[in-house]
Chains A and B, each alone.
Chain A
Amino acid sequence: MSIETEDPSEIDPAEILGSAIERREDPALITGDAEYTDDIQIPRMTHMAVKRSQHAHARIEDVDTSEAEAMDGVVDVFTAEDIDVPGSLPVGWLLETLEQVDHPILAGEKVRYQGDGVAIVVAEDRYTAQDALDAIDVEYERLDAVTDPSDALNGGPEIHDDAADNVAFEWEIGNADETEEAFEEAAHTVDLEVENQLLIPNAMEPRAAVADYNPSDNQIDLAMTTQNPHVHRLLMAGVIDHPENKLSIRAPDVGGGFGSKIHHYADEALTAWAAKQVERPVKWVATRSETYQTDALGRGHETHGQVAMDEDGNITGLKVDTKANLGAYLSTFAPSIPTYLYGTLLSGQYEIPAIHCEVTGAFTNVPPVDAYRGAGRPEASYIVERLVKHAAEHMDMDPAEFRRQNFVPGDAFPYETPVAMVYDSGDYEKTLDRALEMLDYEEFRERQEAAREEGRYLGVGFSAYIEACGIAPSELVGQLGAQAGLWESSLVRFQPSGTVTAYLGTSGHGQGHDTTYSQILASELGLDIEDIDIVEGDTDEIPQGMGTYGSRSAAVGGSALVQSARKVVEKAKKIAAHQLEASEDDIEFEDGEFRVAGAPDRSMHIQDVAGAAYLAHDMPDDVEPGLEASSFYDPENFVFPFGMHAAIVEVDPDTGEIDFETYVAVDDVGNQINPKIVEGQIHGGVAQGVGQALYEGAEYDENGQLLTGSMQDYTVPKAMHVPEMETDSTVTESPHNPLGVKGVGEAGTIAAPQAIVNAVVDALEPFGVENIEMPLKEERVWRAIHENGGDA
């Protein structure tokens, strides 16, 4: 049952927040009116292409560009030797033990992954640039490569001089002694080794950049695929040594990111730098192969998890040891993903008295690994929910009831976990109960029993997930190592005629921010949505911003918008009181109208107040003309969405094929600004989770050569691969932001994999199968069945 969209013109502003209005941005996106970076054409524009290493690990002995330089149509060719700026990509999150290694924008001495840039060509057209790459002669001394984090840490070839044994960091959270004690006293323990495989993000639009440099005023205008233009501007200003106020970054329409467009890569900086060198506009657009070779990967964990329980199946301790693959260099926020975004979520929805988690970050010869939809939280939820399934089995308890028994009780919020989080609000039984109802759970167990007798194998899998979104407050993340604050900014500006433009520091790239932000503003100001325009993704227009990632836009950006809107109303109220000749205390604001209490005829609409504010013919003494306000909103805490996803599958033991019977998602993301958009986020997130569970995985050979380098070899799920979903939601407001919202962008991706794997393991229980590693390809499933003899 999918949610029907509504026409915004038929909805009263008072009702607009929370209604499923159609997305305002879609007409442009579906008619081709949208402008993506590659659509930009500038007179005299040149094209850049990057010569990439064919080896995953090699010393560069010589780079001969002479033949390429002599080609017709080649404007210039640059190598590491030509880079006259710092040219080293920074890390935005530090850890105490972190080895910060140099990450040059062009490799000069050594290449460390297949795809590492060695030279760039700037040419008159794209084809010449690509042809010229073939004319560049690079001599390499190939070195042994390593792609697996454990192999890298255990005597793998040394990738960086400064990082002994390829250790990037060692990190821990929780209390080791208390956890040890819990295991010593435990009546039962179970353990599992699981891998959370490397994933390739696959945004529909490849990364791209167009830079235009004006030498007379030293101005660089850069349009690029970014989720966070201001962050990119700050970092890039340092990388290419250019004043921040002379570097403008704009995100045109951006075709998906899933995290992969947060990070500061070399290519976009090279585009800006090259434009300055050749003094002509430069465009660079990644090919799909480059996307596969160079976009920061996601996940990449090898984890050993252990659970301690008392004799009744109450969880008393959790121990987790993870080797995290960081790839060849530290990507922008890489150190935070397998640490503070992972270890802190290991309590899941459960009351666990003692937790201890150790993580070792490993350098390997794969592309840098960083945030990918969910970023650390899917890995945490995966190990927790796989362990819980395993523990319930060990205790011979129903997995749903085992969960219920261990949930943080509904009256325990705010709840402080042993891994440094304070959950804002939650009601986990509610989503469990709703999911059980939708599954018709008891009836299913009977059907499962009956089917087994017929030699058919059905299974149900649960995923009781929690996530932390809207990472904050800035002071806390600073203590944890972030080299940035995690506030958000907004500016709400009335024009004299009564229309409004809101500027936000987030940067949507498919989420529907034009729609949801307009709904928030329409509701706050009592305006028709047609009178509202939303501007994002442009450092020239928007005062400051941190961007869109980590499901933060609604909770942090939306709250910043509310804060500015309320400041505007506050000011407008002063002006209205003055014009209405009433005391400010007697003015009420509702549905866009300022009314004098007790005299409903004496009123003034906020749009008229705007006109008066710009005319400024009759203003209160202490009030400046104009009607606008900006704010920086720094949340008190994270928000913690949660929910229960459950899958029912049938596995064919002869072929290893998995068929979905049902997929149920009950999510609690707090208040919903637009239920249709929430539903869409869940659908898309689950689709990506299905991809990880069943199909996707970046594979490299022993030399670090990518074996899944195209969509033919790396299965991105298509419509036929994604089960029909039944979605529902409960609402538990976040108590600490003005909208009571949580976040939904990553929920599906976080929740889905373990629901599916648990279902398959449940189906194969008669065969003695306890674990199968993702992706659950048919061959793997078949082998898991037959490893144990294949007899049920």
Chain B
Amino acid sequence: MEFEGTFTIEEVSPEEVWLSLSDPYMIKQSLPGCQFLTEVEDPDDVDFEELREAEPDEDPPLLPEADPDEVAARGFDEGSHYAALLELKVGAVKPSFRTVVTIDEWDHPVGSASGEGDASGSSFEMDSGMELSETDEGVAIAWHAEADVFGRIAQMGQRVINPVADRVVSRFFSNIEDQLTEVAEEDESSGLRDRIKGMF
């Protein structure tokens, strides 16, 4: 199934949005149901139990508290792999997807990633991408995803899956938006926004 949409965040710059969307910690905290998001060396050999146990109690600070240079340093690189545990409520079931994602392209303002998630009795495969563009009001994030779902969740059909996908995507972007609003507020005292702008 295919999904696409455009999300607009007002009064931000493309650079701020890009930096936020490149930050694994920002993604982890914004993505509903994401238990962890950890870079891994070998995508075919991931021990999710080990990763869950190794997960620190607290994440490093996000923007605006974080140093933009540190955020940039920990940001996504093309070709890197991440393991994530995603707990989603789909209809009557709440599968935990052990997910491995590969960053296929990461070059401002275009990014794409592909991944596979596996839960008991259900799984998915996904290709996704986004492109940022500056608008009069702020930044438009045009995103698209193509997903194949298998097993129990597939059986529930699009009637159930589409609202779940919509909910996940809209919460994700609104969490990002909230965080960026804080960046804008913080900026009034620190000049953070100029620093970010200068990074790209």
Binding site for B on A (CB under 8 A): 52, 54-55, 114, 133-137, 142, 289, 292-293, 701, 703, 705-710, 712-713
Contacts and interface: CB of A to CB of B under 8 A. Distances in A.
Most buried by B among A114, A136, A705, A710: A705
A135 B150 contact: no
Given A54-B122, A703-B148, A705-B155, 19 more contacts: A52-B121, A54-B150, A54-B151, A55-B123, A55-B150, A133-B121, A136-B120, A142-B125, A289-B155, A292-B155, A293-B155, A701-B1, A703-B150, A705-B148, A705-B154, A707-B154, A708-B157, A710-B155, A713-B157
26 contacts: A52-B121, A54-B122, A54-B123, A114-B154, A133-B120, A134-B120, A135-B120, A136-B120, A142-B125, A142-B150, A289-B152, A293-B155, A701-B148, A701-B154, A705-B148, A705-B149, A705-B154, A706-B154, A707-B154, A708-B157, A709-B154, A709-B155, A710-B155, A710-B157, A713-B157, A713-B159
Contacts of B121: 52, 54, 133-134
B197 to A, nearest CB: 44
B165 interface: no
Interface of B: 1, 120-123, 125, 148-152, 154-159
Contacts, number: 55
A54 B121 CA distance: 6
A328 to B, nearest CB: 16
A703 B125 CA distance: 11
Contacts of B122: 54
A707 B157 CA distance: 5
Q: A-B pairs with the 8 shortest C-beta distances?
A: A54-B151, A709-B155, A134-B120, A705-B154, A54-B150, A713-B157, A703-B148, A707-B157
Interface of A is mostly: loop
Contacts of A134: 120-121
Nearest to A134: B120
Contacts of B159: 712-713
A134 B118 CA distance: 12
Nearest to A712: B159
B155 A706 contact: yes
A713 B154 CA distance: 12
Given A707-B157, A709-B157, A713-B157, A114 B151 contact: yes
A614 to B, nearest CB: 59
A708 B158 CA distance: 10
A649 B13 CA distance: 61
Nearest to B121: A54
Nearest to B158: A707
B148 A709 contact: no
A695 B121 CA distance: 29
B93 to A, nearest CB: 9
A176 to B, nearest CB: 43
A101 to B, nearest CB: 24
Nearest to A702: B148
A311 to B, nearest CB: 52
A709 B156 CA distance: 7
Contacts of B151: 54-55, 114, 705
B172 to A, nearest CB: 25
A235 B158 CA distance: 40
A616 to B, nearest CB: 64
Nearest to A54: B151
A293 B156 CA distance: 12
A292 B154 CA distance: 13
B122 to A, nearest CB: 6
B97 to A, nearest CB: 12
Nearest to B116: A142
A713 B151 CA distance: 16
Contacts of A289: 152, 155
B156 A705 contact: no
B157 A54 contact: no
Contacts of A708: 157
B83 to A, nearest CB: 16
A703 B150 CA distance: 8
B127 to A, nearest CB: 14
Nearest to A707: B157
Contacts of B125: 142
Contacts of B120: 133-137
A287 to B, nearest CB: 11
Nearest to B98: A137
A61 B74 CA distance: 35
A134 B84 CA distance: 19
A701 B161 CA distance: 14
Contacts of A703: 148, 150
Nearest to B149: A705
Contacts of A54: 121-123, 150-152, 154
A710 B157 CA distance: 9
A69 B156 CA distance: 29
B2 to A, nearest CB: 12
Contacts of B158: 707
Contacts of B150: 54-55, 114, 142, 703, 705
Most buried by B among A289, A292, A706, A707: A707
Contacts of A133: 120-121
Nearest to A289: B155
